[in-house]
Amino acid sequence: MTLANPATATVSAGATFLAAGGLSLLAVPLVLLLPTGGHVRELSAVAFWACFVLNYPHFTHSYLLLYRDLGARMAGAGTLNRLRLVVAAYLAPALLFVLCVQAVAFEDGWTAGLLVHLMMVLVGWHYVKQGYGVLFVLCADQGFRLSDEVRTALRLHGYGLWVWIWLRNNAFEGAARFHGVSYDLAGVGPGLAEMGKWLTVASLAWALAMLARDCRANGRLPPLAALAGYAASLYVWMAFAYVDPLLVYFTPAMHSLQYLYFVARVESRRAGAPGWAALGSGRFWTPFAISVTAGAVVFEVLPRAAAAADVAPLGNPMFVYALVQIFLNVHHYFIDHAIWRRDDPVTRAQLFSTAAFATIRRQGWGTGRT
């Protein structure tokens, strides 16, 4: 069985399910069945090496997607999305660079802590947007109509869960560390976090009711891969990630695998060889070779060189590494917010088949955000 629109498919429906989020869902019972502490060392090593082929490249490939086609994106963008592109391509990286340099040059722990806070706030927003986008695209692939009401309900539930997770993680005052960079937790109080939890549960009930109505209207369930992508992004990687340390270790890799599946769809269409045929195309593999190499250099080689040169602000040899992580994470969030949109001409041409986008138009999904 293959996806309904093979022009946009990279692999079979089973592999799509696993890459889009199914692997994350299957990982939960497997992790919970492991004996306490069982194989943590070995699996942590696997998670570390997975960074080189999944996590690091997913960051660096977003740069390739933005800057390689920036002219075409700008030329075909509306006013609002052109502003998003300007922020993502120029303003956000410039401001982040200035703040990171200030933190290193002046050993400014307060600015570094502020940057950690920014990353911690935005990562949940990024996961929610990606999960919803996966749901949207895979439903479009198979012609499953998502009504305005259900799309609104799913987005609001995702954003509500994002806010609740932040409230839960910041319920009590205290200090936390990110690679040795200290930052203060907000201390909003357990009462506010509890309120956020029940509002999130209520929004989930609303979203499920709206989705059930759409299922009746379509006469079938949404694609399983679409549901898996949304559920994994919100629940496995956010709400319940901390039930076991191994889930925390593997969340970046699973998130990146989902991301790179859609990158592969884009690159296969650019290579003129959609589906399995792309695997034999040098034009398909070249961008991935670039992103893997760039990821290793930026995330590992440069920070290690800084540590070897005894660049250790505030006595922390991981300080530069932490700021590199923050810069690339936060900038990546801005990039994705600008490029993965159905009103972006490049994304529309390379991610959706003509039939899938015609379905979106015909069903009145508009041309805005995914």
pLDDT tens figures, 11-57: 578 889 999 999 999 988 888 777 766 667 777 788 888 889 999 99
What does pTM read for this prediction?
0.90
| Average pLDDT rounded to a whole number, residues 65-88 | 94
Nearest one of 246, 242, 346 to 44, comparing CA atoms: 246
pLDDT digits (tens, 9 = 90+) for 149-205: 999 999 999 999 999 999 999 999 998 999 989 999 999 999 999 999 999 999 999
Q: How confident is the model at residue 209 (pLDDT cuts 50, 70, 90)?
A: very high
What's the CA gap between 308 and 350, in Å, rounded? 42
Residue 287 scores a pLDDT above 50: yes
pLDDT in the model for residue 44: 78
pLDDT in the model for residue 38: 60
Mean pLDDT score of the chain: 87
Strands (E), the chain: 173-178, 181-186
pLDDT digits (tens, 9 = 90+) for 156-171: 999 999 999 999 999 9
Residue 359 scores a pLDDT above 70: no
pLDDT in the model for residue 2: 33
Domain extents for the chain? 14-362
SS3 state at 6: coil
CB 66 within 8 A of CB 335: yes
What's the CA gap between 214 and 8, in Å, rounded? 24
CB 210 within 8 A of CB 160: no
| Average pLDDT rounded to a whole number, residues 286-305 | 89
Instruction: Name the token pair of 252.
Output: 């970046």
Query: Which DSSP symbol is given to 314?
Result: G
pLDDT digits (tens, 9 = 90+) for 321-344: 899 999 999 999 999 999 999 888
